[in-house]
């Protein structure tokens, strides 16, 4: 590991991050886990998180596999594989990252910052894996496994929302139809220059604007809006 000092912004955020994660990862390792390659490219000599991500992916898969195998002795190999695939997917990990507010702690290059990198599912998911890898190096296998379960198990506490997060537009369509609200439509607008556009989507049911969402692409904005609309309909507040 580099002996470079940890940035002051991260030092200030460490107590909050440790409280959220429930583990105290070494400061330099945690900083590396939060560092996207776009930042490292603009700051030569700074390590980025891709090696930690590689390690964390393996630890994540093993921990989830053992958890599912132990918790569901009645499921066959095919069902276990499907559940594992959904729990370790980028969508699931991005949901985890958003739940704990990880995006605000990322170290991104200017390009990613301008194009909404703090809410890109791929970047968020990769960072979760990198943090898992950092916890393994810093604290060992048992602590890393405990971190995986602490992050992943809440997805199982609300299986309907987890399913909706995997495919929010389909889930919203099914729910709105079941409730007799008709099929949703989307109104999407964009703003900003071509190289850094941001998209804003509104979900409309009948003549009512139900929810809105933003994203770095039309697809991501619609998905964000659909998940918010699904959440409101499910709660009976829209």
Active site residues: 57, 129
Tokens linked to 205? 């049911």
95 is in an annotated binding site: no
3-class SS shares of the chain: helix, strand, coil, % to 5: 65, 10, 25
53 is in an annotated binding site: yes
User: Taking the CB of residue 15, how many other CB atoms lie within 10 A of it?
Assistant: 10
104 is in an annotated binding site: no
Contact indicator for 136, 59 with CB cutoff of 8 Å: yes
Give me the sign of the Cα torsion angle 32, 35, 38, 42: negative
Binding site as annotated, residues: 53, 126, 129
Binding site as annotated, residues for Mg(2+): 53, 126, 129
């Amino acid at each position: 590991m580099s002996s470079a000092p940890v940035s002051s912004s991260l030092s200030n955020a460490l107590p909050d991050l440790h409280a959220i994660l429930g583990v105290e990862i070494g400061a330099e390792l945690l900083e590396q886990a939060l560092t996207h390659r776009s930042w490292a490219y603009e700051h030569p000599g700074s390590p980025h998180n891709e090696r930690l991500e590689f390690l964390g992916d393996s630890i994540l898969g093993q921990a989830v596999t053992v958890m599912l195998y132990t918790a569901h002795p009645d499921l066959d190999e095919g069902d276990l594989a499907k559940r594992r695939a959904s729990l370790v997917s980028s969508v699931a990990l991005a949901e985890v990252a958003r739940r704990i507010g990880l995006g605000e702690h990322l170290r991104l290059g200017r390009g990613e910052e301008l194009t909404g990198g703090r809410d890109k599912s791929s970047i968020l998911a990769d960072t979760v894996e990198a943090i898992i890898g950092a916890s393994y190096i810093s604290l060992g296998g048992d602590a890393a496994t405990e971190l995986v379960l602490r992050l992943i198990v809440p997805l199982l506490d609300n299986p309907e929302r987890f399913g909706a997060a995997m495919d929010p537009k389909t889930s919203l369509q099914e729910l709105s139809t079941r409730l007799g609200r008709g099929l949703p439509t989307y109104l999407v607008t964009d703003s900003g220059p071509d190289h850094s556009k941001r998209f804003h989507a509104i979900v409309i049911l009948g003549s009512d604007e139900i929810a809105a969402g933003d994203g770095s692409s039309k697809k991501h904005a619609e998905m964000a809006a659909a998940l918010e609309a699904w959440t409101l309909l499910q709660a009976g507040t829209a």
